[in-house]
């Protein structure tokens, strides 16, 4: 069976932990999109980890971890993360990289950085990981697929020459930087070839056989539905589809095989980077939630930037679950809210004086204001509770209120950062 774990919000919902927990019953875990521009935080017996390129199944010896063809692969970060696992005593994981995956080149990161600087106050809040230039090149058909590293030298250098002719127009005339050369790019690609050789394989065939054999396959999404380039807060979105449906493409799996889609929803809201955020809060109220949030404060796992904070947005969460096609919801970081006497929740939007329950496109979203209802808090620490019926009444009331409004059953509740802080309903 194929199961997908994806975000319903802006990212940072806690997908890493849910993947880590669900991986125990899986044979294969696959990253199918995105790159090293976002991190999945995992806490287990080995310690606390922020994974950027590696699938979240790397802590289990029985799992085959696959980096799919839809991923923007940063070789440097991949190798760095592997070494970090080894240095902290994690057994060497079984990792396979699709020979159809494409490479994040140093010039992608440079161009990302140059453009954010050029845009200044109008920037997209990029992590400067090269993601937008990478995907631009992929769809302009001038990216480098891993399989191309094994082509003959003349053919590869001919393509490099075509590519850098385009890049150097930007380097020289827009950003006023030294031009790229064929030799330096070729040398970089040969270094990547050497580093990747132990991991590269035909993952399409591996997965095709796994489906035939009835293996349990877990798709791990990056970021959330509201950062999807089609259905998110465009243009302040990422550059790959964050939706479960793309898992079939980014991994190379039959779409009819995805039987379960777990949409991860945060019990409050947070976001990194620019973009519309209707339930956002500010000042001391935001600072307090940020300080208490997550597993050590709400700061980006990749950038370290303070996350923007807000109350649970049930309009956005319902929409996110719908576009993900979720079959159930995992509600995370519920324990964080235990300090509040009352908990505000965004239940609708006000747009031009009218109440709406739908999530509109950005041009309308920027005019929306939150409609807030307040629920009673539970004023205690709920970590360590393993049974749903043992939760305080007001905690259960909060969960059930969210469930009714979202319209999708909440089957998993995370009430702490550790692997064992999980409740199944």
Q: Are 423 and 385 in contact (CB under 8 A)?
A: yes
Asked about 154 being catalytic, the answer comes back as no
Helix or strand run (H / E) with residue 423: strand 422-424
Of 178, 142, 146, 184, the residue nearest 162 (C-alpha): 142
Q: Are 200 and 146 in contact (CB under 8 A)?
A: yes
Catalytic residue (one of 12, 99, 228, 335): 12
Sign of CA dihedral 312, 316, 318, 320: negative
Asked about 12 being catalytic, the answer comes back as yes
Query: In whole angstroms, how far apart are CA 195 and each of 76, 200, 327?
Result: 9, 10, 39
Which residues neighbour 78 within 8 Å (Cβ) at sequence distance 6 or greater?
Answer: 53, 54, 67, 97
The token pair that represents 314 in the structure block = 């049930």
The two beta strands, 368-376 and 342-351, are: antiparallel
d(CA 222, CA 224): 7
Q: Are 324 and 357 in contact (CB under 8 A)?
A: no
Catalytic residue (one of 20, 27, 40, 161): 40
What's 149-211 look like in SS3?
HHCCHHHHHHHHHHHHHHHHHHHHHHCCCCCCCHHHHHHHHHHHHHHHCCCEECHHHHHHHHH
The two beta strands, 308-310 and 269-271, are: antiparallel
Q: Which residues are catalytic?
A: 12, 40
């Amino acid at each position: 069976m194929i199961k997908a774990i994806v975000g319903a919000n802006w990212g940072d919902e806690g997908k890493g932990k849910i993947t880590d927990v669900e991986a125990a019953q899986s044979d294969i875990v696959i990253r199918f999109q995105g790159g090293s521009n976002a991190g999945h935080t995992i806490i287990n017996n080995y310690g606390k980890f922020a994974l950027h390129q590696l699938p979240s199944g790397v802590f289990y010896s029985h799992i085959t971890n696959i980096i799919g063809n839809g991923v923007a692969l940063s070789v440097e970060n991949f190798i760095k993360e592997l070494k970090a696992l080894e240095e902290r005593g994690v057994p060497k994981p079984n990792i396979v990289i699709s020979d159809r995956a494409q490479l994040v080149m140093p010039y992608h990161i440079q161009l990302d950085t140059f453009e954010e600087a050029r845009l200044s106050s109008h920037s997209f809040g990029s992590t400067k990981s090269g993601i937008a230039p990478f995907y631009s090149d992929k769809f302009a058909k001038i990216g480098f697929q891993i399989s191309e590293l094994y082509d003959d030298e003349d053919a590869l250098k001919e393509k490099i020459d075509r590519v850098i002719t385009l890049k150097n127009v930007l380097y020289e005339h827009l950003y006023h930087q030294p031009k790229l050369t064929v030799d330096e790019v070729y040398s970089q690609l040969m270094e990547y070839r050497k580093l990747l050789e132990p991991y590269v394989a035909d993952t399409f065939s591996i997965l095709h056989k796994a489906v035939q054999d009835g293996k349990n396959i877990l798709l791990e999404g990056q970021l959330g539905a509201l950062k999807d380039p089609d259905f998110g807060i465009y243009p302040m979105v990422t550059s790959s589809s964050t939706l479960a449906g793309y898992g079939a493409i980014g991994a190379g799996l039959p779409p009819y095989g995805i039987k379960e889609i777990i949409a991860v929803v945060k019990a409050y809201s947070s976001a990194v980077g620019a973009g519309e955020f209707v339930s956002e809060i500010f000042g001391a109220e935001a600072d307090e939630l940020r300080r208490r949030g997550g597993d050590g404060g709400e700061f980006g796992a990749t950038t370290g930037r303070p996350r923007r904070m807000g109350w649970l947005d049930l309009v956005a969460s319902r929409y996110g679950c719908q576009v993900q096609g979720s079959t159930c919801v995992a509600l995370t970081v519920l324990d964080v809210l235990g300090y509040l006497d009352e908990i505000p929740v965004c239940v609708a939007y006000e747009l031009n004086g009218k109440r709406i329950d739908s999530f509109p496109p950005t041009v309308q979203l920027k005019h929306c204001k939150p409609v807030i209802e307040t629920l009673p808090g539970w004023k205690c620490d709920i970590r360590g509770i393993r049974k749903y019926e043992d939760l305080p009444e007001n905690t259960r009331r909060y969960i059930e209120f969210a469930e009714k409004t979202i319209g999708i059953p909440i089957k998993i509740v995370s009430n702490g950062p550790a692997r064992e802080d999980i409740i199944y309903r």
